[in-house]
Amino acid sequence: MVRGAALANEKPMALALRGTLLTPLAEGGTQFEVDGLLLVDAEGTIRYAGPFRGAGYRGAVDDVRPNLITPGFIDVHAHFPQTRIIGCATGPLLDWLANSVFPEEARFTRRAYAKAVAAELVQRLLHAGTTTVALFSSSSPSATETCFSALAEAGLRGLVGLTWMDRNCPEVLRITTPSAVAASERLIRRWHGFDHDRLRFAVTPRFALSCSKTMLRRAGDLANAHDLPVQTHIAENDREGEATLRAHPYATSYLDVYDQAGLLGPRTILAHAIHLKKRDWDRIGESDATVAHCPDSNFFLGSGRMRLNPPRSRGVRVGLGSDVAAGRSFSMRRAMGSAYDNALAVGEPVAPSELLRLATFGGAEVLGCAATTGSLQLGKEADLLIVPLARAAANLDAALASLIFDTDNLGVLRSYVRGHRLF
Ligand code: GUN
Ligand code: FE
């Protein structure tokens, strides 16, 4: 911690916010200060996060009390081209993909359409308080380019992937392996590492059922050649699992399809992970892959319920995904609420402080940016929200109750990335 006396003598900070401070801590636990202070320098780095009294800071402060100052939310799994189809109740999964998702994603070859939806997506992420997001685009390279541009312009942090698929889909969504590789290489050159790593490219084979063995193998090669994140779906639905084993008869399990393709590693994000066996979890732990828990989506499509204990007991990193449009909201507050319900339903309740961790620091761990973001701590980049609560919070439990569950108003007042105000 910076000592109070040192702060008192420094020139004014770029951002000095006084409000109720709530943040998970990288080392474990949660910090709550009913009268807190957050100081951010001109580079967007946090110089102080703690009680107002005791900081000894004499510069001007922006007093936002009794609003909450909390880390920006991190959504580790969502689909850009599904922004306009939230709530299409045509599930389960494979029917929903065929009837609602594929017809909509087919529209994204039109640049004007992709551009209009990208603008809507950005507005919805900002309103929800998401500051970092891992997105699937469609299989259209131009739509993916549009998605990157929209995030770049909005100041958001994230991963975006061109969605690879060469089977079991309408012709207009099919992309061949050579085209997918070439388009991805162009997108990598243009966007991967943009603005000091604010944006990154993720290799994104949709799921095993929509990719040939060759396509998956090349996806693994590309990820390993450039040290890229990988995102895909796994074991979401029973019928999907059976069809996957028929489509990839050489594999010993769903997970093994990805393993044989070289797609499992510490930068891999596996969405859903509901119907996995013990030995699959062991292998995920061994490979240091990560999991996107998408409880609201799992409820909406009736996919099943993921337990948090198998990854937890193996030290597997877990973040929370909205999975729009199978998830019904971009709000990670809604996702936390669904994660709570899901945990109760499987008989392994989860504490509200753990839900906040999943939606912030846990997501940063999954996306490989936990040294930079995910908590409000000295030396980290200032990705934060100012959230109005239904009731002013006098203690930690009250703050968590309001933030996570009392969500008639889901909007945030402001959000910042690296100390720059986005909203
Ligand atoms: N599996 C393959 N594609 C998708 C998708 O778009 N959403 C969900 N929830 N699961 C998938
Ligand atoms: Fe998904």
Does 192 lie in the same domain as 55? no
User: What is the distance in A from the centroid of ligand 1 to the CA of 233?
Assistant: 7
Summarised one tens digit per residue, pLDDT across range 388-401 is 999 999 999 999 99
Among protein residues, the one whose CA lies closest to atom 7 of ligand 1 = 326
Residue 410 and residue 390 in contact, taking contact as beta carbons nearer than 8 Å: no
Task: Say which ligand is closest to the CA of 163.
Answer: 1
Rounded alpha-carbon distances, angstroms, from residue 5 to 58, 107, 116: 10, 59, 51
pLDDT at residue 1, rounded to an integer: 46
- Same structural domain, 83 and 68: no
Give the domain-ending residue among 350, 367, 384: 367
CA distance 9 to 24: 29
- For residues 2 and 159, the model is more confident at 159
CA distance 374 to 151: 18
Domain boundary among 340, 367, 394: 367
Q: In terms of domains, do 116 and 184 share one?
A: yes
**Domain termination site, one of 352, 367, 382:** 367
> Which 8-state DSSP code applies to residue 391?
S
Average pLDDT over residues 357-377: 98
- Give the C-alpha distances (Å, rounded to integers) separating 376 from 27, 49, 71, 370, 419: 12, 7, 6, 11, 11
The model's confidence at residue 54, banded by pLDDT at 50, 70 and 90, is confident
List pLDDT tens digits, range 234-281: 999 999 999 999 999 999 999 999 999 999 999 999 999 999 999 999
pLDDT digits (tens, 9 = 90+) for 294-344: 999 999 999 999 999 999 999 999 999 999 999 999 999 999 999 999 999
Specify the CATH number for the domain of residue 303: 3.20.20.140
Residues 6+ apart with CB under 8 A from 293: 273, 306, 308, 318, 319, 320, 321, 339, 358
Shared-domain flag, residues 287 and 398: no
Range of the domain at 211: 73-367
Centroid of ligand 2 to alpha carbon of 61 (angstroms): 41
**Is residue 175 within 8 Å of residue 139, measured between CB atoms?**
yes
End-to-end CA distance of the chain: 29
Percent of the chain with pLDDT over 90: 96
Alpha-carbon span 13 to 303, nearest angstrom: 48
pTM: 0.98
The position carrying tokens 């957050």 is 38
Residue 7 pLDDT exceeds 80: no
* Together in a domain, 63 and 77: no
- How much distance in Å is there from the Cα of 381 to the middle of ligand 1? 32
Residue 4 has pLDDT above 60, yes or no: no
- Mutation pick for ligand 1 pocket among 95, 139, 162, 233 (CB with most ligand atoms within 8 Å): 233
Q: Tell which one of 77, 79, 232 to mutate to probe ligand 1, the residue whose CB is within 8 A of the most ligand atoms.
A: 79
**pLDDT higher than threshold 60 for residue 2:** no
User: Same domain, yes or no, for 339 and 227?
Assistant: yes
User: Residue 14 C-alpha to ligand 1 middle, in angstroms?
Assistant: 42
Task: Please compute the mean of the pLDDT values over residues 80-108 and round it to a whole number.
Answer: 98
Strand partners, 348: none
Claim to verify: residue 263 and residue 343 sit in the same structural domain: yes
Residue of 76, 138, 164, 206 best suited for mutating to test ligand 1, as the one with most atoms within 8 Å of CB: 206
Ligand 1 centroid from CA 33, angstroms:
40
Instruction: Kindly report the average pLDDT of the chain as a whole number.
Output: 97
Task: Identify whether residues 85 and 120 lie together within a single domain.
Answer: yes
Task: State whether 31 and 140 are in the same domain.
Answer: no
Query: What's the CATH code of the domain at 382?
Result: 2.30.40.10
Total domain count, the chain: 2
Give yes or no for residue 78 CB within 6 A of ligand 1: no
**In DSSP terms, which residues pair with 201 in a beta bridge?**
160
Q: What is the pLDDT of residues 174-192, one digit of tens each?
A: 999 999 999 999 999 999 9
Q: What is the pLDDT of residues 15-31, one digit of tens each?
A: 999 999 999 999 999 99
For ligand 1, whether the C-beta of 280 sits within 6 Å is no
- Are residues 362 and 408 located together in one domain of the fold? no
pLDDT confidence bin for 10, thresholds 50/70/90: low
Residues 259 and 408 in one domain: no
Average pLDDT for residues 63-67, to the nearest whole number? 97
Ligand 2 centroid vs 294 CA: distance in angstroms? 8
- My answer on whether 147 and 276 are in the same domain is yes
